[in-house]
Amino acid sequence: MKTILTLTFVCVFCAIGASAQNPGLTRGPYLQMAIPEQDEPGKPYVSAGITVRWRTAIASKGAVMYSTDPDFRTNKVVREPAAVTDHSVQITGLESDTRYYYSVEAYDPFWKVESTEYHFFTTPPKKGVQKKTKIWVLGDFGTDPPTKFNTRQDSTIDAIQEYMRLNNTGPMDLWLWLGDNAYDIGSDNDFQQNIFDKTRARYDWAFRQTPFYATPGNHDYRDGGPSSRLTHQIHYFSVVDNFKNGEAGGVPSGKEEYYSFDYSNIHFISLDSYGFEKAGDTDASILAPESVQHKWLIADLQQARANPAINWIIVFTHMPPYTGGTHNSDSEPELAAIRRNLVPLLDTYKVDLLFTGHSHNYERSRLMRGHYEGSTTFRKVIHNPADGSNAKSSGKYDGTPNSCFYYKTSGSATNEGIIHVVNGGGGRGEYFQRNRPLIDSVMYMASTTGGSVYVEVENKKLIARYIGANKKVLDEFVIYKDLDNFTVPVTDGTARIATCECTEDLGPNRSFTHYLDNKANLLLSINRHGTNIGKVGVAPFEVKLVGAPGRTNVGAFYPGNYVRASQMRTFSSGWRVMNRYWTVKPAVELTGNNQVTVRHYFKFADEVSLSSTNLDDQVHGQMLKFYKINQTGTTTYDPDPRSGSHSALPGALTYNQNGLWIYEGSFVPSLNQWKAGFLGKGGFYPRTDSFYGEIVVGKLAGSGGIGGQGGWINPAGAITVLRAGDRWSYMAKGVPPEKGVYTWKDASFAVDRYYDLSAWEEGGAPLGYSPGGEDGEKRVLPACQSERNCYEADEDGARFIPGCQFTPCTTRWTTTYFRRALFNYWGYDSFFKSVMISYRRDDGVIIYINGKELLPRDANMPAGAITDATFASNAAAQEHQWYTIVVPNDNQYLRPGLNIIAVELHQNSATSSDAYFDMEIVLSPDVLTSPVRTGITEALLSGPATTLYPNPSEGPIVYLDKPLVYNKLYVSDQKGVLYRKEEQPGIVSELDISALPLGMLILVAWDEEKVVRYKIIKK
């Protein structure tokens, strides 16, 4: 590379006299060494830059005017200091990834040498920044002088230009020359006539806009005679300016014979596969382990592999290690030496592509590794071994049999293989094949039709197409790395079926198999953990991703479906599921304790669909619940939520049994938890809108999807926030709780938190006392001071101390006090419309919620002011039955967060024989206007009009001796939990109790203004 003094300054040329002589442009202009902007810590800043070269007939002082404005209204100029014929101007200080227009000129005297609207270049992206990169690869091309027309060289040019026009590619970003660039001996005249000639200007359209990067071939080394392989005194090095000092990344080689550079996320390496390094070298010495070039290559590959911004390594040189075309790598020693010296090194450092020329045809391998000898030793099972990478595929990804893309894993310990491309048909017109058996075994495809290769790299997707001189795409292959360029498809009603699969090379416990359709849409991933489940394309195995936009709400019909409700089956439910779901038909089902990990992908829009317009009813992030619907044996379920199938889907008893199994959000996937992840560079929308969750499943047959419900809860209708039988603090001492600064039922949040409960005891409901414990109280309470003196209580229970003598109570305390701190996690969720407060008491209660009395008051309590000495009135019968008060969930009573429930239990006299208290609080999604438990307002008939039999019953059916006509009908247990609710008029003559619990059941039927009640005993 010549060292050129450069001066940069702002200038507008002035008119020069018409007598100035035209220097006569004979070569170029062409572009070299596009340098990316580099701003790395600890290193000098380097601006983007480029070199513009041209040749003139007479010596002149050259200059380049450039601007981002095509009209050059603002511009800068770089001038050469002296008059020359071979011009080289280095432009620096440029912006990254920016189009610049330029004009090649002479000054002193001034002459506009060449300038058109097509004279422009685009600088590389800043180092470490990715962009879609387009590459034209051309080999063995400069063969015909301008007096020859319609040759292979011309047809190859026409074909690539038509491809670019039809596919709207725009200018190429890089242009690779694969050697034997100018026939026949690489002389100045060969380059001038066959490549740079201005009368034909064959390549000027590319020279003006795209920098080229070359490698020397054996014909280039003929310039200067046989000694040139050692002296390297050839015209080739006068044509090119190469990155010998690592100007664009890579390890400096100090030589223009071989060099490397970075562009976007690609590392390019150009090697000299024909020149000698020292006297005494032979063909076997080239790239041999002891050579300087080999040692430099190791250092360069190591640096590239260690750079996280580099995703691809492309090597180009002239001599192919494998070819059966116009040359034969089995019989030509120089090619065998390249195979032995170079290919093991490329395998070791996970090179992706090797482009070569020399043979004047096209040949392309599959993903290949580990083959360093003659073609007769090649074995697909050994040298195309990476089945998870589809190494035995054609790689075309065009829907033809065995055409799935190649897949490589950046984090794999070994290379899945290299694609070897022989691309020497850019001009030289030879049409034969010397070693067809090599082509048939080592190569996937070969063609004697001339042409060139178009390569497109976007992030971690690489597409290469061989554009034949006949203007046809004769070959193509696709490589994907990792998941980055797979697309998580939108949910649009399309049923997508997997047509390809690929598996990561990260070891058995970390490697997922990815299932994709014919457009690289990522449908599902499964970590098989070494288990055989089948393969795409081999029936009956099948993977689908299905669904329409939006969500489906699911009712709470447990046990008829998996959505539970605390009170009855027909409550509404806040549970909703995405209409997006996947299905799998394994060829081999999992058995025993075998498990696989499934990764389900979804879009941000799918997640948004689960939330309502109410800010209190959002479902996102770890609030999501993943589900798996298992289908075993002959059992089948409709997986489409829109069909209403979820209303009849049972819950699975375990992770590998029939039905639907729910997974909670977590950080590690397991049999009941899912782990979140995302695709792309970001972690949150809008940096990425593609997410996934991983779950561990014990059965693959069936389907899966995502649902959710506000408040972080599992699928549910009504939610019990205080259960019957829960623990309460109680004060049974004959005196009211202390009324100091902190009151026991105060509504102040701060006071409620710090009320002193040291004088209180604690136990589970029901709490009370009765003769001989006949009322079934769980925690016995003292009724008077003499019992109190012999009473002890701890977390295990309460009792009267054995041996302690006390006098039976003649009078009993009037009031006992109960207190419960309740944290309402769902208080913010407006999905719940009603609060149901149900209680059982003997004799009467006053209930306070956050200091406010619950109304209407218990019918057993008198109206007016209530004191600690107020007796209950016993206005209501059936003291132990459940009574329910329904209030709106509008924060009048319950509030979000901490709540205090305070209850006074009053006796109806000082000699009352028993006391009893229990409570339950349920949030319902329904707007309720009357109690759902059996209340006190219904008028009872004197006796039933119908007889039930058998009763008690051991069978599934209870019959009525005559049909019962009703307007509405409830079936509950004696606690009041409803199992059936009929709101429309009907007639019943038998009752199926098979799904109901053992014990006493209550059937209540309303007809007009009357109500009948039956007790049913299920044994």
DSSP 780-807: E---SHHHHHTEEEETTEEEEPTT---P
Is 642 among the domain residues?
no
Distance, CA of 89 to CA of 28 (rounded, Å): 13
Distance, CA of 120 to CA of 116 (rounded, Å): 9
pLDDT at 829: 59
> What phi, psi does 336 have (nearest 5°)?
-60, -35
Is 19 among the domain residues?
no
Strand pairing report for 596-603 and 522-527:
antiparallel
Q: Does 942 score more than 60 pLDDT? A: no
Same domain? 44 vs 157: no
Q: Does 14 score more than 60 pLDDT? A: no
Distance, CA of 801 to CA of 820 (rounded, Å): 27
For residue range 212-240, list pLDDT tens digits in order.
999 999 999 999 899 999 999 999 999 99
C-alpha dihedral sign at 323, 326, 329, 335: negative
Distance, CA of 182 to CA of 188 (rounded, Å): 9
Same domain? 777 vs 757: yes
Is 785 among the domain residues?
yes
Beta bridge partners of 1013: 1004
Q: In whole angstroms, how far apart are CA 960 and each of 946, 996, 1012?
A: 6, 18, 13
Same domain? 705 vs 793: no
DSSP secondary structure string for all residues of 61-128: EEEEEEESSTT-SS-EEEE-SS-EEEEEEEEEEEPTT-EEEEEEEEETTTEEEE--TT-EEEPPPPTT
Q: In whole angstroms, how far apart are CA 945 and each of 936, 965, 980, 984, 1012?
A: 21, 11, 21, 21, 8
Residue that finishes a domain, picked among 882, 899, 924: 924
Confidence of residue 10 (pLDDT cuts 50, 70, 90): very low
Residue that finishes a domain, picked among 433, 455, 481: 481
Q: How many CB atoms lie within 10 A of CB 68?
A: 14
CATH number of the domain enclosing 841: 2.60.120.260
Distance, CA of 354 to CA of 349 (rounded, Å): 13
Confidence of residue 13 (pLDDT cuts 50, 70, 90): very low
Full domain range(s) for residue 609: 483-557+573-613+623-629+690-711
Confidence of residue 936 (pLDDT cuts 50, 70, 90): very low
For residue range 944-961, list pLDDT tens digits in order.
456 777 877 877 888 777
Identify the helix (H) or strand (E) that includes residue 229.
helix 228-231
Q: Does 9 score more than 50 pLDDT? A: no
CATH number of the domain enclosing 58: 2.60.40
Strand pairing report for 133-138 and 174-177:
parallel
Q: Determine contact, residues 585/699, Cβ cutoff 8 Å.
A: no
Same domain? 140 vs 112: no
Distance, CA of 751 to CA of 132 (rounded, Å): 64
Is 111 among the domain residues?
yes
Q: Does 922 score more than 70 pLDDT? A: yes
Q: In whole angstroms, how far apart are CA 518 and each of 500, 502, 503?
A: 7, 13, 17
In sequence order, which residues have a C-beta less than 8 Å from that of residue 245 and are 6 or more positions away? 252, 254
Lowest model confidence (mean pLDDT) among 20-34, 320-334, 945-959, 987-1001: 945-959
Which residue, 476, 352, 458, is CA-closest to 407? 352
Is 634 among the domain residues?
no
Percent of the chain with pLDDT over 90: 69
Q: How many CB atoms lie within 10 A of CB 535?
A: 11
Is 563 among the domain residues?
no
pLDDT at 895: 85
The torsion region of residue 529 among left (phi > 0), alpha (psi -120 to 50) and beta comes to left
pTM beyond 0.85: no
Q: Does 192 score more than 80 pLDDT? A: yes
CATH number of the domain enclosing 385: 3.60.21.10
Same domain? 470 vs 594: no
Q: What is the mean pLDDT of the chain?
A: 89
Residue by residue, what is the 3-state secondary structure of 465-502? EEEECCCCEEEEEEEEECCCCCECCCCCCCCEECCEEE
Same domain? 477 vs 487: no
In sequence order, which residues have a C-beta less than 8 Å from that of residue 802 and are 6 or more positions away? none
Residue that finishes a domain, picked among 91, 123, 155: 123
**549 prior amide bond cis, ω within 30:** no
SS3 761: strand
Residue by residue, what is the 3-state secondary structure of 104-119? EEEECCCEEEECCCCC
Same domain? 695 vs 580: yes
DSSP H helix total and E strand total for the chain: 12, 56
Q: Does 248 score more than 80 pLDDT? A: yes
pLDDT at 721: 87
DSSP secondary structure string for all residues of 275-302: --SSTT--GGGTT-TTSHHHHHHHHHHH
Distance from chain centroid for Cα 182: 49
Which residue, 905, 937, 933, is CA-closest to 918? 905
For residue range 577-604, list pLDDT tens digits in order.
999 999 999 999 999 999 999 999 999 9
**29 prior amide bond cis, ω within 30:** yes
Same domain? 542 vs 472: no
C-alpha dihedral sign at 130, 50, 297, 176: positive
Same domain? 111 vs 211: no
Domain total for the chain? 5
Cα angle: 222, vertex 228, 230; to 5 degrees: 140
Q: Does 174 score more than 80 pLDDT? A: yes
Q: If you average pLDDT over each of 645-654, 710-719, 919-928, which comes out highest? A: 645-654
Distance, CA of 607 to CA of 623 (rounded, Å): 10
Is 269 among the domain residues?
yes
pLDDT at 751: 52
In sequence order, which residues have a C-beta less than 8 Å from that of residue 381 and are 6 or more positions away? none
Same domain? 695 vs 583: yes
Q: Decide: residue 962, CB within 10 A, 0-12 exposed, 13-18 middle, 19+ buried.
A: exposed
Same domain? 290 vs 215: yes
For residue range 353-405, list pLDDT tens digits in order.
999 999 999 999 999 999 999 999 999 999 999 889 999 999 999 999 999 99
Is 638 among the domain residues?
no
Same domain? 447 vs 579: no
